[in-house]
Amino acid sequence: MSEPNTITLGANPAGIERAADILGDGGLVAFATETVYGLGADAHNDMAVARIFTAKGRPQFNPLIIHVSDVEMAERYVEFTPEARALASVFWPGPMTLVLPLRAGCGLSPLVTAGLTTVGIRIPAHNEARALLSRFGRAVAAPSANPSGRISPTTAAHVSDGLAGKIEAILDCGACDVGLESTIIGFDPAPSLLRAGGVPREAIEAALGTQLAIRASHDVINAPGQLLSHYAPDAPIRLNAETAHDGEVMIGFGDVEGDYMLSTSGDLVEAAANLFQMLHKMDTIGASRIAIAPIPMDGIGAAINDRLTRAAAPRD
Ligand code: TXA
Ligand code: MG
C-alpha cells in the first residue's frame, strides 16, 4: 500500500459499501462529516492507524477521535459519566466530541489514543458518514483530512489537493455544513471545554446547568500521568543502540537484530504500528533495562523518535 491510487467514491449505497470494504482491508478513506472531512482508518487496525500519521505527515502521535454510528456502538468503547450521557442525549449526533475513559479490552489500537486511557468519541450528524460507520460496524479513527499544519478540508477537492496519492479513497459527499471542527469536552472530573467548535459553549452550559471549565486539549494530553509517561516502560531505555549491553532487552529494527523487532524489514509504518504494544510488553516481561535500535527520522520515523525520546527521558 505504499503509493495508493486515490479513488473518488460517490455518496450512494455502492460507494459507501466500497468505502467500508476499503476500511476493512486496512485502507484509508476520507469521508465527510458535518464539521470537516475526516481521514478515516479502522480504529482496531494498528497498521491502518499508523498510516494516518504518514499520510498527514504528522511529526507526533497525537490522540485521534473515534467516530461511531450510534450510542450502542459508543458504549463498546467508553464508560459514560452521567454528565457525558446527558450531553450525548442532547447533542449527538452532532459536532461534539466527548473525551471519556476507555473501556478495557475494547480492541482499539493504542495508536488511536497515543497511549492515553481516555479517548475522544463522537457520532457525526451526517447521513453518509453514519451509513458508512454502521455498515463498517466498528469505530473509525479520523483526524481532519489535511496534511499536518494545513487547514481542515470542507470539500472532497480540498482533501484531494492535500492527500491524493496518499490514501485509498475519498467518499465525496459535497461540502460540509458546519465547516469547523467539533467542540471537545473532557470530564476530569468536572466537565471542561478542551476545544471550541461546532456546538457553542453556551448551549453546552445550558444543557448541563453549570459552567464549563476551560482547558486546552494539549494541557490535558501533557498532564502528568497522561501521554508523556503512560506508555513509558518501567525500565530505563537506551536509544540508538547497535547491540545490547549485558542485562538489556534489545528491541531491533531492520538490520539491527533484537530480542524483539519493531520491524524486521525496516518498515517505519510497521514499526509505528508495533511501538506502543512493544513498550507495554517490556513491562509484561519484566525487562530491567531496554536498548532500542536507531530508527531513521524519515516520514513517520520522526513521530516514533519523538515518542521514544519521551519514553527514555528521566522520570520521577
Ligand atoms: O470535527 C472534528 O472533530 C473532526 C472530524 C473529522 O470529526 N476531527 C478532528 O480531529 O478535528 P483532529 O484529530 O484534527 O483533532 C482532534 C483533537 C486533537 O486536538 C486531539 O489532541 C484532541 O482532539 N484529543 C483527542 N483525544 C483526546 C484525549 N483523549 N484527550 C484530550 N484531547 C484529545
Ligand atoms: Mg485537525
pLDDT tens track for 6-41 = 999 999 999 999 999 999 999 999 999 999 999 999
Q: Are strands 237-238 and 290-292 parallel, antiparallel or unpaired?
A: parallel
Residue 53 confidence (pLDDT):
95
Average pLDDT over residues 187-213: 92
- Return the ligand 1 atom nearest residue 38 CA: 6
Locus of grid cell 504518514 = 54
Q: Candidates 144, 150, 185: which one to mutate for ligand 1, based on the most atoms within 8 Å of Cβ? A: 144
- Return the ligand 1 atom nearest residue 124 CA: 7
- 3-class secondary-structure state, position 111: helix
Neighbour-count burial of 8, counting CB atoms closer than 10 A to its CB (0-12 exposed, 13-18 middle, 19+ buried): middle
Name the residue with the closest Cα to ligand 1, atom 10. Answer: 143
Q: How many CA atoms lie within 13 A of 69 on its CB side?
A: 13
- Return the ligand 1 atom nearest residue 95 CA: 1
Tell me which ligand sits closest to the C-alpha of residue 65: 1
Distance from the alpha carbon of residue 207 to the mean position of ligand 1, in angstroms? 22
The residues whose Cβ lies within 5 A of ligand 2, an ion, are 144
- Given pLDDT bands bounded at 50, 70 and 90, which one contains residue 80? very high
Asked if 273 and 111 count as a contact pair (C-beta separation under 8 A), the reply is yes
Instruction: Say which residues have a Cβ less than 8 Å from residue 87's Cβ, sequence separation at least 6.
Output: 96, 98, 185, 191, 204, 207, 208
Distance from the alpha carbon of residue 120 to the mean position of ligand 1, in angstroms? 7
* Ligand 1, CB within 6 Å, residue ranges: 33, 35-36, 38, 62-65, 95, 97, 99, 113, 116, 118-120, 142-144, 181-182, 184, 194-195, 217, 220-221
Model's pTM, two decimal places?
A: 0.89
Name the residue with the closest Cα to ligand 1, atom 3. Answer: 182
Instruction: Say which residues have a Cβ less than 8 Å from residue 103's Cβ, sequence separation at least 6.
Output: 75, 76, 77, 78, 79
Residue 60 confidence (pLDDT):
84
Beta sheet of 96-101, edge-to-edge order = 7-10, 169-172, 29-32, 37-42, 140-141, 65-67, 118-122, 96-101, 183-187, 191-195, 213-214
Three cell numbers, residue 6: 486515490
Residue 51 phi, psi dihedral angles, 5° rounding: -70, -25
Residue 137 confidence (pLDDT):
98
Distance from the alpha carbon of residue 63 to the mean position of ligand 1, in angstroms? 7
Residue 312 confidence (pLDDT):
87
Average pLDDT over residues 267-276: 90
Choice among 45-49, 88-92, 150-154 with the minimum mean pLDDT: 150-154
Name the residue with the closest Cα to ligand 1, atom 29. Answer: 119
Distance from the alpha carbon of residue 246 to the mean position of ligand 1, in angstroms? 42
Average pLDDT over residues 241-246: 97
- Return the ligand 1 atom nearest residue 180 CA: 1
Residue 219 confidence (pLDDT):
75
Distance from the alpha carbon of residue 98 to the mean position of ligand 1, in angstroms? 10
- Given pLDDT bands bounded at 50, 70 and 90, which one contains residue 68? very high
Distance from the alpha carbon of residue 7 to the mean position of ligand 2, in angstroms? 22
- For 115-128, letters b (16+ CB in 10 Å) and e give bbebbbbbbbbbeb
Tell me which ligand sits closest to the C-alpha of residue 146: 2
Instruction: Say which residues have a Cβ less than 8 Å from residue 113's Cβ, sequence separation at least 6.
Output: 63, 64, 102, 119
Bridge partners (DSSP) listed for residue 141: 41, 66
Residue 61 confidence (pLDDT):
86
Torsion of CA 86, 92, 96, 98, to 10 degrees: 50
Distance from the alpha carbon of residue 189 to the mean position of ligand 2, in angstroms? 25
Question: Cα 128 to chain center, whole Å?
Answer: 21
Residue 316 confidence (pLDDT):
52
Residue 1 confidence (pLDDT):
47
